Amino acid sequence: SFDASSKIPTPNLDYLASDGTVFLDAHSSSGICSPSRHAFLTGRYHWRSKIFDHLGSYGQPTIGTSRLTIPKMLKEVGYHTALIGKWHLGWDWNAIKKKGRKSKYPNDFNWNQKIPGGPIEQGGYDYYFGEDVINFPPYCWFENEHVYGKEP
């Protein structure tokens, strides 16, 4: 077993560990989600991109479309990429804001439109399914660049 002191058998993980690379010491550039996620995807310290805190509700994109990310790098060598889960690195919410609306209430946005600036456009993923962040609005699921279940 990879961890002989474990009371939980993990034969598949043990196999992967015996036939691959094992990391025993890992670090994060930040103790909160947005900066550490940004650093992991871009290989760039979060403070160099001036991301010091988590994004609040309806945060704007933090990774420029020209910035190389792990998914973009993998696609360059033939991989297909997907992200399932929490994104929390911003979207271009202003692109779907209804004309003349200044607040950030759900009725201020057109949820049937494509939402640019998310994991497909700035992250470089081929496919995305998940939520922006579970404890902030808009409290919905996304598939690629649309609210899940809405007609694009």
Residues with catalytic function: 33, 88
Burial class (CB in 10 A: 0-12, 13-18, 19+), 115: buried
CB 106 within 8 A of CB 137: yes
